[in-house]
Structure 1
Amino acid sequence: MASAILGILLVLVPLLLSAEAQARGNLTLGNSLTANDQNSPLLSLSGEFAFGFRKMGQGAHLLAIWFEMIEEKTIVWSVNGDDLAPEGSKVQLTANRGLVLTDPRGRELWSSNLNATGLAYAAMLDTGNFILASASHVNSWDSFSRPTDTILPTQQLDLDAVVRARYYEMNYSNGRFIFRLQTNGNLVLYAIPTPLVVSDAYWATGTRGNGFRLIFNQSGQVYLTDRNGKLLNKVTSEEVPTSVFYQRAILEYDGVFRQYIHPKMANSSSGWAMVWSMVFPSPFKYMHEYEPRYWY
């Protein structure tokens, strides 16, 4: 009897260790995550961030990144809000195209759209960045370079980067507001009444010809610099220690850019607290002070 129990343990323990290693390790080439109640997300080493499927309703799932160690599991990045994944859908790491999301019938819902060789693994980092990399750890793709509605500490946005609001609080399809660092260096916020018509901006830094990079630093400040790293514009100025608080800055569905913090302490019942917000009149009064003919 003892030998039989020992034999069962010898079989089960490696399986359990393997599952834990996959949950907190890398997603290797050919492996996948499945949209169902039993599948675990891919966690960062600290366990603070997770990549996987979030259930959005009966039989519908969103491929996303979220804060794992807080009760709200707040989503900071997602890709298929316009085409939610049915139960049983899979996201797989492929050799040439990177991540490919398919439904149970094999219909492609989304892909990272890579044309790369040498891809070896995907990893959820402790910064909240999700990367695809080669065996020599050269990144081919990352979520920080392709933000949705949220940016995180250590994240940087280069020219032509776009942050786009979701449609509504629990609707992750594309919304009507965009935060964009234009190729001309101007950082602007504007509304899109229809997919083909762009309105005037309702906020801008007025840094046309100078702006180069938007930075969210580890002290909780969001600011714009020129090519030489010189500070041009402070978008937010609050200093918040990342060792004590989780942080995020989000372009919300109402078109307002806000910064939030959440205590990292264990068993904290606190929610997200807003520390900074752009304030706009309602309805929005579009601004024309900054070179009105050259927003786009």
Structure 2
Amino acid sequence: MAVSTGLPPTDIPASEHAGIPARFAGLIGAAHPDGGELVSARAITAPTEHVVAAELREFSGFDSNFALVAKHMIDFIKEDRGAPTTKIAASLALKTMCQILLNRISVTYLLTGRAPRIDELRFVLHGKGPWVEVFFDPRLSEEDFELNPDQGPAELFALSICLEEIIQVFHRELGRRKVAPSVFYSTVAISITSPFLVLRRHGAKPTEVASIMRAYLASLGKKINGGIVWRQREHEGRIEYAPRRKACCLKYVLPSKPHLCSTCSRSTETTFFDEVEGPVGGHSLPDGR
């Protein structure tokens, strides 16, 4: 078996894009039900009773106040988690924020076929964990979420716009001179595609997971697509692919985390190729990774 990195981008037919949510539904059907339940739990919903309407902020409020949230997170990760530098703390704060927001937006699109619009989202900001909560505007009705199947490809474009608005806020406060571009976009890409990794860890076939992941990333622009590199192997007469971060987030340097993540660029092992046996696989993180 030959394993390599840094594959050139693959030309994926545009007709594949509209079918990504349907293909994702196929992965859910092929995985153990626990995987589908973990993914579904990440979808954005209307606010629950514990959220006071006065706490809800439009995107502009999130944008203008995120600097303070980012500072609280960096300080917490340095003091409580033992991150030795601001650079490492910012990288891990970014990782958390991407899972809180980008991951949930991605899951919502994959499950429904409709991308959230930035003006439909409402945010609650906290000075400690969970840091940010995201909901749909409670004034929206079911009719507001009706999807025209003929506009499937347009939803991917709408998704990329929504993601980019939030990514710009992250980049301003956690990128630039704090997190290197390769680490930044690796973290962004992994958070957006982690629903696929959840299903792979719950029994979905790695070849199918990789195929849809590659199509999905290719539709979201060069920077996000470039956050993942693909190792490959020749197996039973065909080429198989496994996703890896382009650059390490440095989580392993924390005293409580002396190991590499399964998609880490520093790891020499490629466990993604192996099918998961048994009913459940994966780690006990909130998003199922």
- TM class by shorter-chain length? under 0.3
Query: Which structure is richer in relative contact order (CA contacts within 8 A, separation 6 or more)?
Result: 2
**How high is the TM-score relative to the length of structure 1?**
0.24
- Larger helix share, 1 or 2: 2
Query: Whose radius of gyration is greater, 1 or 2?
Result: 1
